[in-house]
């Protein structure tokens, strides 16, 4: 079985009701000799989304066959022609009539689920492509196009050689998502060159792959959240010449390119066109807000949620670190302070409030807490477990220690369990502070290869706060860390590509099987899978497997 098909089988449950057999289209055609032989039918009051789905279907069938199928409402159906019925029984009366005759069944269909079935209605072949909700109908339309020969990938569509004759297909599918949340993680600090056009295209492809979440991630110090602490405004870490969006320390330009320099713009600028004229940090903040609001708006138009995420605690912008604070390591997201330093909580409260208040339309707001370990034993922030501020911070959280997994001797010698408790304590205090100010905001806490903290976080945090762990690497990445956690949204964050540039490795899709990423997500009751995608070219198969 091809990897892409296997992945779709795992995340989408296909059911074929034995009591109902599909009708035979009897050599009838959707298109014949490049001319339309069928019509696309929507309800008489369909709304803009169903009209858009119908047009998507028409455009792609035209690419396949050269025929542009008419789009009509259910009260203007021409006699005799085969039909493609779009929309569930509540939006399309002809689908409701087919259900009443027990030719299709929508009862009990999960959100985002759909029916794709060929029937005979009033003596003509009819393809029903519909769900009980708008997303389900969109997915049904895209599934129909796949069954007709189109391949949807993250980087674009593969359209087969044009076939001027398209027979009515025999179909009998009832598909439902195994997981409620399915999507990709975009780290804009790595993919800083992507403008709105590229992001819109990627969101389009997510919808075609039946993914419904786009996570937009930035490190503390990005231009996406403007805030102050202690009377000082946070400074953006990206360089001015990149429009303030490039990875900290990188120029974000082609000025250092020697071979092939003539392939790049003369001024060397490589960032998003929307940021090309940005000259000041104030302009960067304004441009970033408009940019990200448009991303959210566009994603919602494709039934894709947007989750905003900021990392990593206990890092803060360097210019906001109090002079008296003890500093840890520098990283892409600022400078580390002791997790017990009051400035950490104060700065992160201001940053997360800004994220929520700047983008109230977003669907969820995440913070990255437990970050990866160096050598499997030492947190990257470099703060020692015996730091007095750490010990004071975890005093009220020691009862959670039994929920942490046993540590190696090397990790135990470094006091990793205490540093785990420090991560948990800061996350708990931050979440509760934000919920007091924004009780309706959907919140989440994200871990990087630190699944050992999940059960303790589950015991500490309110149940409406989601949890996520990144996997497919060294560290605490086993899917079994999710075992036993109930009553909250749980998401696994598998790697699709490595963190770096075009020369970094691409991850083999077989990894998801050997690590039980997908079956483990189902087994342990997770609600979502969110792939880490730092570049899409070359990663189509892994992304499609997760889809």
pLDDT single digits (tens) 77-96: 999 999 999 999 999 999 99
pTM for the full model?
Answer: 0.94
**Superfamily of 181-546 according to CATH:** Glycosidases (3.20.20.80)
Give, as one character, the DSSP assignment of residue 379.
Answer: E
Is the pLDDT at 73 greater than 50, yes or no?
yes
Highest mean pLDDT among 3-17, 224-238, 248-262, 496-510: 224-238
Query: What mean pLDDT, rounded, does the chain reach?
Result: 91
Q: Is 158 exposed, middle or buried (0-12, 13-18, 19+ CB in 10 A)?
A: exposed
CA atoms within 13 A on the CB side of 514: 7
Bridge partners, 42 (sequence order): 73
Is the pLDDT at 58 greater than 50, yes or no?
yes
Which pLDDT band, with edges at 50, 70 and 90, does 388 fall under?
very high
- How confident is the model over 39-54, as pLDDT tens digits? 999 999 899 999 999 9
- How confident is the model over 483-502, as pLDDT tens digits? 999 999 999 999 888 766 55
- Enter the tokens of residue 135: 């997303």
Distances (CA, A) of 5 to 9, 114, 343, 366, 422: 6, 18, 49, 31, 43
Give, as one character, the DSSP assignment of residue 162.
Answer: P
Distances (CA, A) of 363 to 13, 142, 200, 280, 298: 25, 24, 18, 30, 13
Q: What is the pLDDT averaged over residues 15-27?
A: 47
pLDDT of residue 133: 97
Domain boundaries, the chain: 3-177, 181-546
Which pLDDT band, with edges at 50, 70 and 90, does 5 fall under?
very low
Is the pLDDT at 303 greater than 90, yes or no?
yes
Give the C-alpha separation, 481 to 489, whole Å: 14
Radius of gyration of the chain (CA): 26
Give the C-alpha separation, 232 to 240, whole Å: 20
Is the pLDDT at 307 greater than 90, yes or no?
yes
Cβ neighbours for 403, distance < 8 A, ≥ 6 positions apart: 455, 456, 459
- How confident is the model over 309-344, as pLDDT tens digits? 999 999 999 999 999 999 999 999 999 999 999 999
- How confident is the model over 336-382, as pLDDT tens digits? 999 999 999 999 999 999 999 999 999 999 999 987 888 778 888 99
pLDDT of residue 366: 98
pLDDT of residue 504: 53
**What percent of the chain has pLDDT above 90?**
78
pLDDT of residue 10: 46
What is residue 263's three-state secondary structure? helix
Listing DSSP states for 163-212 in one string gives -S-EEPP--EEEEEESSSEEEEEEETTTSTT--HHHHHHHHHHHHHTT--
Between 3.30.379.10, 3.40.50.2300, 3.40.50.300, 3.30.420.40, what CATH number should domain 3-177 receive? 3.30.379.10
pLDDT of residue 18: 35
- Enter the tokens of residue 100: 């009443």
- Are the beta carbons of 99 and 45 closer than 8 angstroms? no
- Does 380 or 441 have the greater pLDDT score? 441
**What percent of the chain has pLDDT above 70?**
93
pLDDT of residue 334: 95
Bridge partners, 15 (sequence order): 174
């Amino acid at each position: 079985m091809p990897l892409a098909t296997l992945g779709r089988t795992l995340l989408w449950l296909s059911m074929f009701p034995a009591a109902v057999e599909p009708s035979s289209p009897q050599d009838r055609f959707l298109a014949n000799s490049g001319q339309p032989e069928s019509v696309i039918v929507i309800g008489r009051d369909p709304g803009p989304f169903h009209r858009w789905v119908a047009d998507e279907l028409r455009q792609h069938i035209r690419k396949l066959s050269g025929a542009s199928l008419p789009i009509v409402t259910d009260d203007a159906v021409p006699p005799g022609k085969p039909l493609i019925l779009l929309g569930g029984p509540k939006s399309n009366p002809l689908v409701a009539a087919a259900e009443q005759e027990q030719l299709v069944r929508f009862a009990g269909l999960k959100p985002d689920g759909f029916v794709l079935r060929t029937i005979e209605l009033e003596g003509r072949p009819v393809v029903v492509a519909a769900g009980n909700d708008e997303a389900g109908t969109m997915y049904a339309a895209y599934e129909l196009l796949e069954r007709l020969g189109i391949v949807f990938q993250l980087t674009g569509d593969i359209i087969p050689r044009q076939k001027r004759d398209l027979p009515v297909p025999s179909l009998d599918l009832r598909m439902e998502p195994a997981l409620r949340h399915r999507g990709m993680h975009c780290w804009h600090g790595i993919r800083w060159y992507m403008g709105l056009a590229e992001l819109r295209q990627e969101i389009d492809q997510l919808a075609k792959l039946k993914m419904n979440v786009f996570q937009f991630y930035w490190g503390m110090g990005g231009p996406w959240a403007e805030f102050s602490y202690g009377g000082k405004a946070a400074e953006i870490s990206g360089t001015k010449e990149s429009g303030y969006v490039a990875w900290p320390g990188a120029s974000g330009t082609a000025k250092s390119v020697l071979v092939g320099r003539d392939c790049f713009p003369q001024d060397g600028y490589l960032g998003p066109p929307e940021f090309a004229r940005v000259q000041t940090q104030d302009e960067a903040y304004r441009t970033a807000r408009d940019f990200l609001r448009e991303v959210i708006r566009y994603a919602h138009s494709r039934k894709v949620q947007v989750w905003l995420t900021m990392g990593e605690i206990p890092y803060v912008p360097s210019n906001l670190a109090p002079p008296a604070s003890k500093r840890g390591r520098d990283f892409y997201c600022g400078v580390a302070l002791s997790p017990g330093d009051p400035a950490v909580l104060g700065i992160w409260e201001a940053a997360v409030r800004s994220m929520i208040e700047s983008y109230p339309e977003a669907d969820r707001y995440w913070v990255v807490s437990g970050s990866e370990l160096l050598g499997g034993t030492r947190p990257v922030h470099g703060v020692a477990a015996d730091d007095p501020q750490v010990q004071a911070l975890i005093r009220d959280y020691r009862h959670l220690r039994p929920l942490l997994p046993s540590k190696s001797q090397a990790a135990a010698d470094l006091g990793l369990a205490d540093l785990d408790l420090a991560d948990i304590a800061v996350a708990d205090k931050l979440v509760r502070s934000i919920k007091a100010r924004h009780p309706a905001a959907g919140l989440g806490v994200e871990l990087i290869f630190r699944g050992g903290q999940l059960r303790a976080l589950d015991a500490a945090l309110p149940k409406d706060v989601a949890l996520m762990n990144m996997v497919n690497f060294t560290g605490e990445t086993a899917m079994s860390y999710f075992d036993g956690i109930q009553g909250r949204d749980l998401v696994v964050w598998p790697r699709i590509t490595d963190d770096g540039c075009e020369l970094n490795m691409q991850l083999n899709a077989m990894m998801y099987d050997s690590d039980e990423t997908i079956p483990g997500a189902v087994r342990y009751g997770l609600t979502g899978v969110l792939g880490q995608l730092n570049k899409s070219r070359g990663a189509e198969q892994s992304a499609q497997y997760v889809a």
